[in-house]
Amino acid sequence: MTGATQDEMLLELRALVPEASNCVRILDQTELPWRVRERRLDSLDAVVEAIRTLAVRGAPLIGAAAAFGCALALSRAARADDGVLAQALATLAATRPTAVNLQWALARMAARLRPLPPSARAEAAWAEAQAILDEDAASCAAIGRHGLALLLECGGSGHDRRPLQIMTHCNAGWLATAAYGTALAPVYAAHARGVDMHVWVSETRPRNQGLLTAWELARAGVAHTLVADSAAGWLLATGQVDIVLVGADRIATNGDVANKIGTYLKALAAGDRGVPFCVAAPIATIDWACTHGDAIPIEARDGDELRWQSSAEGPVRVAGADTAVANPAFDITPARLVTAIISERGIARAARLAADLAAWRPGDGPARGGHGPGG
Q: Which residues bind ligand MRU (CB under 6 A)?
A: 54, 57-60, 170-172, 176-177, 182, 209, 246-249, 259-260, 329
| Rounded to 5°, angle at Cα 205 from 343 and 353 | 25
The count of residues in the chain is 375
Nearest distance in Å: CB 257, ligand MRU: 10
CB-based burial label for 261 (10 Å; 0-12, 13-18, 19+): buried
Catalytic residue, chosen from 242, 249, 287, 356, is 249
Q: Is 285:252 a contact under the CB 8 Å cutoff?
A: no
Q: Is 265:232 a contact under the CB 8 Å cutoff?
A: yes
Closer of 125 and 246 to ligand MRU (Cβ): 246
Nearest distance in Å: CB 81, ligand MRU: 32
Closer of 96 and 121 to ligand MRU (Cβ): 96
Residues 84, 42: Cα–Cα separation, whole Å: 16
Closer of 77 and 217 to ligand MRU (Cβ): 217
Nearest distance in Å: CB 158, ligand MRU: 29
Task: Return the amino acid letter for 248.
Answer: A
Q: Is 330:259 a contact under the CB 8 Å cutoff?
A: yes
- Answer yes or no: 249 catalytic: yes
DSSP for 45-77? HHHHHHHHHTSS-SHHHHHHHHHHHHHHHHHHS
Nearest distance in Å: CB 246, ligand MRU: 6
Closer of 124 and 298 to ligand MRU (Cβ): 298
Residues 179, 173: Cα–Cα separation, whole Å: 8
Closer of 288 and 330 to ligand MRU (Cβ): 330
Q: Is 58:171 a contact under the CB 8 Å cutoff?
A: yes
Q: Is 210:203 a contact under the CB 8 Å cutoff?
A: yes
Residues 221, 74: Cα–Cα separation, whole Å: 42
Nearest distance in Å: CB 20, ligand MRU: 27
Closest residue to ligand MRU in the complex (CB): 247
Nearest distance in Å: CB 136, ligand MRU: 10
Report which DSSP code applies to 178. S
Closer of 112 and 144 to ligand MRU (Cβ): 144
List residues with catalytic annotation: 249
